[in-house]
A and B are shown apart, each in its own frame.
Chain A
Amino acid sequence: MEIAITVQDLTKHYPNVLAVDHINFEVQKGEFFGFLGPNGAGKTTTINILTGVTKTTSGAASILGYNLAKEPVKAKEHIGVVPDTSNLYDEMTAWANIIFCAKLHGVPKEKREKRANELLELVGLYDRRNDRLGTFSRGMKKRMMIAAALVHEPEILFLDEPTTGLDVQGAREVRGLIRELNRRGTTVFLTTHYLEEADLCCQRIAIIAKGKIITQDTPEKLKLSTQVEQVIEVSFDHTKDVSDKLKRLSHVRDVVTAGDKFRLSVDDSSETLPLIFDFAKENNLKIVSINTLKPTLEDAFVKLTGLRLEVMSIEKEQMKPNRG
């Protein structure tokens, strides 16, 4: 499989801060790759390096084989960038912004207007095309940034926290749009501090904290890698406490009641499941529901990073005063 992004030993020092610390990863062409971590972890610095906004202190990065330090213009021909804050001009109309981006990326004159029309339709802003961007809401600006980033049909799309600050509906729309683009073949590099977003969208995730990549794998493998025990959750048709009896089943290590459900910590769920069905029959109980519970990406994140889950909900605005 062809490699879209290569990062080797990438390091970025700011005065008094090591923002990115010798990170390595590769993103395959067509992949939906997530860069997950709390704010201040080094996600934006990494994306800034990969898109030419910031230079590295050491290490190397390349886009479709073009080294960003040696051939930055060639590398940038293949990327579209949606930063965390608007990079478009409030003073210009939506239409003028898209056309300007098309010109900057060398889209031929005869294609510019057609492409601008298509993209404004795609992001649902065609009717507002003659309005100045300064009059747009945050969500509309975000959609405009996506449209502007796609004007030259880039092979790789970088998105830095694309749903931050959007309402639920807006975030869902943006996510849907990005997934559709990936389905059509665009390689997506997404940074996010929303665990559910990473879980929902990404084929592979790298978890970054304090400038270092802690781990990288598929969301499912990350969850399984942190699973020390399997859990079965079962509820019966009446609320009689049968936890002591359940505890006596083989392979069951512990039973905890949670509302009308019993959570069984087991060594092997496939061995235990038939025993639970037998147990229900023997005790004249009807099973209302039975599920094997897998650890969530949240569980995996907490175990792998050693960080509290609350750090993921600290938004950038809250961090700014500390960063100066």
Chain B
Amino acid sequence: MSKAWLEDLKRAVYIAEKDVKIYFLKGPNLIFGLLLPISLFLSFSIGRSVDLAFAIPGLVAIAAFFGAGAIQAIALPLERRTGTFNLLLTAPISMFAIVLGKALAGFFFGAMLSVAYTAIMIPFSPLPNLPVFFVGIMFSSFTFSAFGMLLSAPFRDIPQAMPPATVVRIAMIFISGVFIPLVAMPTFLQVVAYALPLTYSVDSLRQAMSGSINTQMFLIDLGAQVFFSLVFLAITVWVLKKTIE
């Protein structure tokens, strides 16, 4: 890795560090990251016989899904509206590093929330492959942070950015096997589900939750998430570059 790349990467980490300091305790993040996943989980679980080994990975996945995306749903449009994003644009740093830095902040928040939910759920259900489960959380959080960046990249204001992002996220939850197993869904929805990153996240966490991991399937889940992350980051870079033209 060249010195310029390393320098770019270092500056991406500084951006992440700054976003963590500023945005972690903002109200909307806590609502989207903490309250929404548990509300959705409870509304689908209460009054039903729930298999925790099936439900817990779903809960942890949507915690990562909403948590990781919440930071940049606020930070990116807000910074573009107030002009603080221009501080990054005028600095000697590539657009990819700016996007990566911001995605890292979302990743930390999503991972933190998912780990917290996992810690709460451990007394209710055994987690035989905890390290593997954490690997799944890390990959999921980064993918969803990159997805959150993509959803907020076209917007310059929070009220503009939030509604479409929320609609897309809620829709994805219902067709990614979080609450309803994929096999119970119509074939065309299963096809759609396999085009969504949340499906792979939920699957990887369910594998880790089970006693026996299908290594090949688990690696496919992780690989798909890496692929989605790279595509989301690349499109975000492209969108942001287009918006400054």
Contacts and interface: CB of A to CB of B under 8 A. Distances in A.
A53 B90 contact: yes
Contacts of B82: 86, 90
Nearest to A57: B245
Interface in A46-98: 51-55, 73-74, 76-77, 79, 81, 83, 85-92, 96
Contacts, number: 70
Given A73-B93, A106-B92, A87 B245 contact: no
A88 B84 CA distance: 6
Contacts of A100: 14, 18
Contact of A104 (B21, B88, B94): B88
A89 B18 contact: yes
Given A55-B245, A103-B11, A87 B93 contact: no
Contacts of A74: 92
- Pick from A51, A86, A87, A100 the residue with the most CB of B within 10 Å: A87
Contacts of B94: 73
A91 B22 contact: yes
Contacts of B93: 73, 76, 104
Contacts of A96: 21
Given A74-B92, A91-B22, A104-B91, A53 B86 contact: yes
Interface residues of A, number: 28
**What's the dominant secondary structure at chain B's contact region?**
helix
A87 B7 contact: no
Contact of A86 (B4, B11, B22, B83): B83
Contact of A83 (B22, B83, B244): B83
A83 B18 CA distance: 21
Nearest to B19: A89
B72 to A, nearest CB: 16
Contact of B90 (A51, A86, A90, A103): A51
A37 B100 CA distance: 39
19 contacts: A53-B89, A53-B90, A54-B245, A55-B244, A73-B4, A73-B92, A73-B93, A76-B93, A87-B83, A87-B84, A87-B86, A87-B87, A91-B21, A91-B22, A92-B18, A100-B14, A104-B91, A106-B7, A106-B92
